[in-house]
Amino acid sequence: MNEVIQNILNRRSWRSYEDKQIKEEELEQIIRCGLWAPSAMNQQSWHFTVVQDKETIQRIRKGCQEMMETDRDMFYGAPTLVIVTGKQDNIAPVADCSLAIQNMFLSAASLGIGSCWINCIGRYLTTPQGQAFAKDAGIPEGYIGVAGVILGYPKGEAPQGKERVEGAVDYIR
């Protein structure tokens, strides 16, 4: 197995992070890999908003907690949040953004950086508080929230992968 395949098979979602910001050059590589994801008809539907300011992350976290009616930290203490939005008028903005997120996950893992998909960001951006944030952050109008990507140096033991679902593949030859 080559390095790329091993990275795909071994990448995991991390839910515990060190209280230390990732390096700028690591972040730039991860973002660049997201930008080079395939997209429907090469429309590149995505827009990334990178948040590393602790107060801003706390503001978004609090908004998500209120929306989800929980006090759980759904960002797991990660120091970086990438908000991924997609141009809603394009052919496949959610699929395009999902591929960009996967590229970010794989590149982060290859650099020893943990990552996790955060679903609540999409819903948060539909709330009045989230819409105000989007406007303040410069997220273009006409973009829908797809997800958040949290990034940070992993803390603790690597999560174990679950067994793959039986019967998920059929071949017609």
CA–CA–CA angle 56, 153, 126 (5° rounding): 35
pLDDT of residue 32: 98
pLDDT, tens digit, 9 for 90 and up, residues 23-66: 999 999 999 999 999 999 999 999 999 999 999 999 999 999 99
Tokens 């972040």 belong to 27
Q: Which pTM was predicted?
A: 0.95
pLDDT of residue 127: 96
SS3 category, 29: helix
Which residues of the chain fall short of a pLDDT of 70? none
pLDDT of residue 54: 97
pLDDT of residue 96: 98
Q: What is the DSSP secondary structure assignment for residue 11, as one 8-state letter?
A: -
pLDDT of residue 143: 98
**Which segments of the chain does DSSP mark as H helices, in order?**
3-10, 24-35, 54-68, 93-110, 120-124, 128-137
Q: In what order do the strands lie in the sheet with 143-152?
A: 46-51, 80-87, 143-152, 114-118
To 10 degrees, the CA torsion angle through 143, 135, 50, 151?
Answer: -80
pLDDT of residue 151: 98
Per DSSP bridges, beta strands 114-118 and 46-51 are unpaired
